[in-house]
Amino acid sequence: MRILLTNDDGINARGLDLLETIAQRFSDDIWVVAPTEEQSGAGHSLTLTQPVRVRRHDNRRFSVTGTPTDAVMMALAHIMKDSPPDLILSGINRGANLAEDVTYSGTVSAAMEGALAGVRSIALSQSYSREGMGDTVPFAAAEAWAERALEPLIGLKMAPGSLINVNFPALPPEQVKGVRVCRQGIRDYGRLRLIERQDPRGYTYFWFGLGPVVETPGHSTDLEVIADGYVSVTPLHLDLTHDASLAQLRDRFVDQVG
């Protein structure tokens, strides 16, 4: 099995090194194509207004001066064109990618690009608490649980246009309760926290904060699963059509249908 690794934290990220170690337990045919620099929050963007450059670090390790989407596209259309991957693993991200975060996430978007190309794709992210920030974020839960979370997924036949989003809780490995399959959650953005501050020159600036979690019956979403101390496994798909609205909209345009 040929596995492509990528991320949005950059080619030198700790989480990518950890993912490579874990991937080697499943295959000895591992390729790495990742952004040169951190691209957190890049979403599913691609570079159109400037050239993209590729640096070769060794036979199967490359960095790309662009977004996670650029990296996957470069891997599939150029670097691995004659030897495409059977599986794409994106991560392990420094920070959770839960709920609507998946639309901003470069980690998840790299897996989305893989899914668009028909390659089985899985995104992996490590939550962290305020006690672990920046370079001190502990990856212990991911290190201990990633193989267990991936093993049932490695041979899974995924539906076309779908991917898997895995998140590890911010807990010591021995406190993780297990793995739960769950829905994507949503936060209460009607109560978005906006923190206003002033820089040394007297100008106002803002930090965005996350709204509180909207709890669901049975704690059935990824937000609650992580908060309850489990690894979350969520299937996502790329078709954003809201099927329930199709009939209503057709009725609205019934006189204009040609």
Residue 124 in any domain: the answer is yes
Picking from 26, 30, 6, the residue whose alpha carbon sits closest to that of residue 154 is 26
Name which of 27-36, 154-163, 206-215 the model is least confident about. Answer: 206-215
In the prediction, which pLDDT does 21 show?
98
Q: Would you say residue 227 lies in a domain?
A: yes
9: annotated binding-site residue?
A: yes
pTM over 0.85: yes
Average pLDDT for residues 181-195, to the nearest whole number? Answer: 80
In which band, very low, low, confident or very high, does the pLDDT at 243 lie, cut at 50, 70 and 90? very high
> Which tens digits make up the pLDDT trace of 65-124?
999 999 999 999 999 999 999 999 999 999 999 998 899 999 999 999 999 999 999 999
The reply to whether 150 falls in a domain is yes
Domain membership flag for residue 201: no
Does some domain include residue 198? no
pLDDT classification of 218: cutoffs 50, 70, 90: low
Q: Is the pLDDT of residue 133 over 60?
A: no
Task: Judge whether 200 lies within some domain.
Answer: no
pLDDT of residue 212: 61
Judge if the upstream peptide bond of residue 3 is cis by omega within 30 degrees of 0. Answer: no
pLDDT of residue 130: 66
Residue 8, annotated ligand binder?
yes
* Per-residue pLDDT at 41: 82
% of the chain with per-residue pLDDT over 90: 79
User: In the structure encoding, which two tokens stand for residue 253, read together?
Assistant: 């345009």
What pLDDT does 11 receive?
97
The structural domain count of the chain equals 1
* Lookup: tokens for 21: 């170690």
- pLDDT value, residue 254: 81
Residue 125 assigned ligand-binding role: no
> Which of 19-33, 76-90, 136-150, 188-202 has the least mean pLDDT?
188-202
In a domain, 62, yes or no: yes
User: Which structural domain, as residue segments, surrounds residue 123?
Assistant: 2-187+215-256
Does residue 203 lie within any of the structural domains?
no
According to the model, what pLDDT value does residue 59 have? Answer: 94
Residue 1: HSE in the Cβ half-sphere, 13 Å Cα cutoff: 16
Model pLDDT, residue 207: 86
Q: What is the pLDDT of residue 194?
A: 82
* 40 assigned ligand-binding residue: yes
Whether residue 125 is predicted with pLDDT greater than 90 in this model: the reply is yes
Structure token pair of residue 66? 């662009």
> Per residue, what are the HEC states of the chain?
CEEEEECCCCCCCHHHHHHHHHHCCCCCEEEEEEECCCCCCCCCCCCCCCCCCEEEEECCEEEECCCHHHHHHHHHHHHCCCCCCCEEEEEEEECCCCHHHHHCCHHHHHHHHHHHCCCEEEEEEECCCCCCCHHHCCCHHHHHHHHHHHHHHHCCCCCCCEEEEEEECCCCHHHCCCEEECECCCECHHHCEEEEEECCCCCEEEEEECCCECCCCCCCEHHHHHHCCCEEEEEEECCCCCHHHHHHHHHHCHHHCC
CATH of the domain at 112: 3.40.1210.10
